[in-house]
A and B are shown apart, each in its own frame.
Chain A
Amino acid sequence: MTDRASFLAAIRSTPRGLDPGLPDRREAPDAPTQLRAGEERPDRLQAEAEAASTIVHRVTAVDVGATVASVLVQADAQRIALTTDLAPFADDVQAALVAAGLTVTEYVEVAPDRARAGALDATVTGCIAAVAATGSVVTSAAGAGRAGALIAPTHICVVRDEQIVGGLHELFDGDALAEAGSLFALQSGPSRSADIEKVLILGVHGPGNVHLIIVAPD
């Protein structure tokens, strides 16, 4: 059996190739995944998210609960779970859902039993960041869990304006990922496949119905 020492020794015994050095840039190279000059973050986030078939809602904090409730009523969701990263809005959302006659559970309660998690109709999560230039929400194992954002057919993610970063460079250079836990993940719109004759299908293994609620600053 090969162990670490012999495995690495075999690799080390090879000649060393040409090393151009690791690029140590001040300015990030231009990429489609960067914010362009003059763009507002929430606007670009909305545009990119919509291009990826996410349904975007721009609201103020007081309207978060009602917006979530209306999406879930429309989706006819019965089994709904909230994740802990929804924290600043959790009470409002909970109240709005109860008022709309919906029952709600905590994802942390449901998740240990895969069968129960797999039977959810919708999850409502927060995030640790959103990336404007890719239309992505970034979730963490510590917050939304690994599967919280994609276990159910409907996913609603709530993002606060100050959580939005411009592009991928800003995400990876910043400190948003520091407390993510064992996983961080970007999701950008509904689950999709075009494997069968290039016909685009939404909602393959993950949600087909994806909503992003962008909360404006007070």
Chain B
Amino acid sequence: MSATREDVGGTPLPPGWAKPAHQPDAFELTTTTFAERAAKTMARPFARGAIANATDHAAALTTARFVGTDHEALREEARKIRAHAIANLPDYLDQWIDQAERKGTIVHYAADESEARRIVAQICTDQQITRVVKSKSMASEEVSLNSALEAVGVDIYETDLGEFVVQAMGDRPGHVIAPILHRTKDEVHELFSAMAGHELPNEAEALTAFAREGLRHAFLTADAGISGGNFLIAETGDVLLVTNEGNGRLTTSLPPIHIALVGIEKVLPRRRDLAVLLPLLTGHGTGQQITTYVSVSAGPRRQGEPDGPEQMHVVLLDAGRSALLGGEFEEALHCIRCGACQNVCPVYRQVGGHAYGWVYGGPIGAVLTPLFRGQEEAGELAQATTLCGACDDVCPVKIPLHDLLLNLRRRSDAEGHVPRHEQVAFALWAQVWSRPLLYRASTAVARGSLRALARNGVVSAKSPLLRRWTAGRDLVVGKRPR
């Protein structure tokens, strides 16, 4: 479609720079267990340290951001807005569609993941789109959109710096808003130097500059831009997008066609609701006062406007969402994807996002993944939690994640997904611990056994027993020696 692709600025990336996109059935969830996936991150000391440091940093920034304000009142208002929007979802969607169409947006309806893939691939075929710039979209990760586009001959450029690295490595994002939290600068340096064909300086600034040049060329030549959407505004038909790099706005402004793939739960009744939701999304996401670029668009370029796409398509994605309405898991749909629950989760902080096996990590991932992917594949994720409740305390829209996880466990038990050895162990435990004498005897035996295993008061990873516990940390018996 693009007439010329020379001399447009930026530097074209070498052919074949991107690894082939993941296929829809290739999520690790289907082939491995949580413990196996967690072990991979645990075995990379950098990743483990980096995840903990970065999430500490993010959590501290969030706390600092709301000092001196009535944070609780704001969260409560946000909770009400989200609960009201989801309780009236069909009405608000209807209103959004009316408004969006009035402003020239072409709306498409994807009942499931494969329909979303088909719709976007069809738009690309119909419009002869061969090059696409893409700004970060978790919905597109859910439906494995990139593989469907590659299949119809589209070259895809992920333009968020982190997602670009993920695409070039053939990796998956490790955090909702910080996709390469688990990767080192050295890894990015090695990757980009190989792409450049020469050694680049091993500094974040130079590495970022390399990506910018390659992606600038893509922005200036792409036939379409594909984005997600952070919110849909019912009263105006708006799609809202936030990015810090500016790639979101360039994706939706420069190419002649803009396609947004957005989950139906993203709807808000009114623009004024943004005054409540935006500070929470950014404050809990990155700790900023506001995300650098907030773009709110409705429809394609209008008469007299200097730039902008000639077509705007929005694909509304259900894919398991409506099935949660009115049920015990409805509140999972209130999520605004800020990532705060990941940052404070003691499990996520140790194992990282990949351990959850699909698209979302941390507490919200442990809730959404079994609901969207099914009990069989993902039921064990409800166990990937300490039930400490830190996620409840930090969630900007007050989703009771702790209760949802318990509900999932209960559902799993009711459906008979409890292993036989666990049933026996808990029956025995109930017998012993409800009898004082047996209880005291059992703890004495346990203490004695631990002392026997310990050297200088510590059971270390060298001990043949309890290795699954001690592989990642010492077990101190009594006082730690100084």
Contact = CB atoms under 8 A, between A and B. Distances in A.
B272 A173 contact: yes
Interface in A1-36: 1-4, 6-8, 10-12, 14-23, 25, 28-33
Nearest to A53: B292
Interface string A142-186: 100111101100000000000000011101110001000111111
Interface stretch (B299-307, B342-350, B457-465, B470-478): B299-307
Contact of A14 (B83, B296, B323): B323
Nearest to B326: A15
A143 B355 CA distance: 47
A8 B93 contact: yes
Contacts of B305: 141-142, 145-146, 181-182
B257 to A, nearest CB: 13
Contact of B103 (A1, A182, A207): A182
A115 B8 contact: yes
B111 A10 contact: yes
A23 B73 CA distance: 12
B450 interface: no
Contacts of B94: 8
Contact of A10 (B252, B306, B322): B322
A30 to B, nearest CB: 4
A211 B307 CA distance: 22
A12 B90 contact: yes
Interface string A105-128: 001100110110111000000000
B109 A117 contact: no
Q: Chain A at the B interface: mostly helix, strand, loop or mixed?
A: loop
A189 B394 CA distance: 27
Given A111-B306, A147-B307, A195-B180, A32 B111 contact: no
B24 interface: no
B208 A193 contact: yes
A46 interface: no
Contacts of B13: none
B326 A14 contact: yes
B184 to A, nearest CB: 7
Interface in B316-355: 316, 318, 322-323, 325-327, 330
A134 interface: yes
Contact of A186 (B8, B110, B264, B290): B290
A111 B302 contact: no
A146 B271 contact: no
Given A7-B111, A135-B289, A191 B9 contact: no
B73 A30 contact: yes
Contacts of B73: 29-30
A148 B90 CA distance: 36
B77 interface: yes
Contacts of B54: 198
Given A15-B327, A23-B77, A33-B278, A206 B293 contact: yes
Contacts of B322: 10-11, 14
A199 interface: yes
Nearest to A134: B290
Given A33-B279, A145-B253, A198-B57, 14 more contacts: A12-B90, A108-B306, A118-B254, A145-B307, A146-B295, A151-B250, A173-B275, A177-B271, A183-B295, A191-B293, A196-B185, A204-B244, A205-B212, A205-B247
17 contacts: A8-B90, A10-B322, A17-B330, A32-B279, A52-B288, A107-B306, A115-B220, A118-B254, A142-B304, A142-B305, A146-B297, A191-B245, A201-B205, A204-B244, A206-B246, A206-B293, A207-B246
Interface of A: 1-4, 6-8, 10-12, 14-23, 25, 28-33, 48, 51-52, 83-84, 107-108, 111-112, 114-115, 117-119, 133-136, 141-142, 145-148, 150-151, 167-169, 171-173, 177, 181-199, 201, 203-207
